[in-house]
Amino acid sequence: MQSQPTWILRHHSPDSIHSLRAIKTQDEGAFVLAGDASGRVSLTSLEDYRPRCFWSPHTKSILGIDVVQGQQGKSACVISQGRDNKLLASLLPSPSLAPSGAAVLPSRIQSDLPVPMLLDSLDINALNFCPFACVPARDGRNGGYLVAVPHTVDSAFVDLYSLPSKQRVVRALGKADIESERSALGHRKGIVMSMSLHRTKDKLRLVAGYEDGYVKSWAIDEKAEEKEWSWDLLWSERKHIESVLALAVSADHTFAVSVGADDRLVRYELVDGRSTVIKCKSSGHASVVVRQDGCLVAVGGWDGRIRLYDAALELKDTLRYHKDTVQVLAFLEARKDLRIFHRGQQDDSDDDEDQESSHRYDAGLLVSGGKDGRVCLWKTL
């Protein structure tokens, strides 16, 4: 493991980093997508560590970002969610408009780069700081995707939208179960704090962490012929004594890990909710991510440290650089299906160069974003 970052990106500083994605495509190289407290989003190539796009889609802090495949013949779309109660879809520019180029002063970096085109906007509820979760639609060949967000009225529940149609296919997921649980236990319902949406062979599944320490798993029945879909609660576990602040699901969808304001690190077997609880020496964990091979779990703390655990949650190493909370983490994710920039009929001769330069990074690349406004790259393999 590295004792120091491989590289540090500072173009968001001093604004704290609130959301990150690290993506490696088949022939365009590797990119880091970052969102900050001022509502700005950047897409940075790891070929030369320079932003290809840097824009301000939101008027308030970014809560979540992701990138999805655009419609046929188009570049990818960035989905961004802000504290301004907006979920936006922005089309990335073509490579001819996205310079790989000359160095610019940090103060000019945003004005000198192309601005992605706003495609769509959805009004959402962002009162509880919960990032959205996103997956491609079951027939997502034409750029369709599903987005889970907190319910419009009551943040204890979840709505699921089909985009770009904006059809709400699930309304107030968990309402009956959570209200019944609240009545039985005699406490107020906790708002949703973190979500992960993924698809298994038979069902769409949502895993959610709540303010009252619960983590719950739901199965959603996708019915194309019906306006609203049904769901079932698979399991519900309350292993945290404080709010769940973040959770992550393994790439093979076999287990999840949650962290929170307490000193607990919890692993859940997704098939039945069986859990393993590890008590850490320090309290306060803001972020968690599982490497694509499922062998390493990274946890970001309020103390600025990144702790690395194996799949059984045994501590393996600690990374130190950030001076304040590590607010978000991301491992490099291989996305062979994704095309960041649509090249059309233009020459692809620079693809070989992009591939060669991106070979320095693999699935072991960990990206951390801190309250200090810095994005750090770490090698874990």
Give the pLDDT confidence score for residue 137 in this predicted structure: 87
CB 125 within 8 A of CB 155: yes
Q: What are the backbone dihedrals phi and psi of residue 106, each rounded to the nearest 5 degrees, phi first?
A: -55, -35
* pLDDT at residue number 105: 46
Distances (CA, A) of 119 to 17, 63, 78, 85, 87: 24, 19, 10, 17, 11
Distance CA 335, CA 355 (A): 14
CB atoms within 10 A of CB 265: 24
Name the phi and psi angles at 277, rounded to 5.
Answer: -110, 125
Angstrom distance (rounded) from CA 52 to CA 112: 10
Interatomic CA distance for residues 115 and 166, integer angstroms: 24
What string of DSSP letters covers 260-314?
ESSSEEEEEETTT--EEEEE-SS--EEEEEE-TTSSEEEEEETTSEEEEEETT--
**pTM of this structure:** 0.90
How many other C-beta atoms lie within 10 A of the C-beta of residue 104? 17
CA-to-CA distance for 284 and 31, rounded, in angstroms?
A: 29
Per-domain residue ranges of the chain:
7-379
Burial class (CB in 10 A: 0-12, 13-18, 19+), 172: middle
Positions of the chain with pLDDT under 50: 101-105, 183, 345-347, 349, 353-357
pLDDT digits (tens, 9 = 90+) for 103-130: 444 556 667 788 999 999 999 999 889 9
Q: Which of 372, 381, 369, 378 is nearest to 33 (CA)?
A: 369
Counting Cα atoms < 13 Å in the Cβ hemisphere of 311 gives 12
- Judged on CB neighbours under 10 Å (0-12, 13-18, 19+), 60 is middle
User: Which residues share a beta bridge with 17?
Assistant: 36
CA distances from 123 to 87, 150, 212, 322 (A): 6, 11, 26, 34
What is the predicted pLDDT for the residue at 202?
74
Position 345 scores a pLDDT of: 44
Asked if residue 316 lies in contact with residue 304, where contact means CB atoms within 8 angstroms, the answer is no
pLDDT at 186: 55
Residue 10: which H helix or E strand, with range? none
Q: Which two tokens stand for residue 143?
A: 């750029």
Distance from C-alpha of 262 to C-alpha of 233, rounded to nearest angstrom: 25
Other Cβ atoms closer than 10 A to 373: 20
What is the C-alpha separation between 110 and 163, in angstroms, rounded?
Answer: 28
Backbone phi, then psi, for 258, in 5-degree steps? -120, 150
Q: What pLDDT score does 244 carry?
A: 98
- Give the CATH number of domain 7-379: 2.130.10.10
Token pair for 4: 């120091």
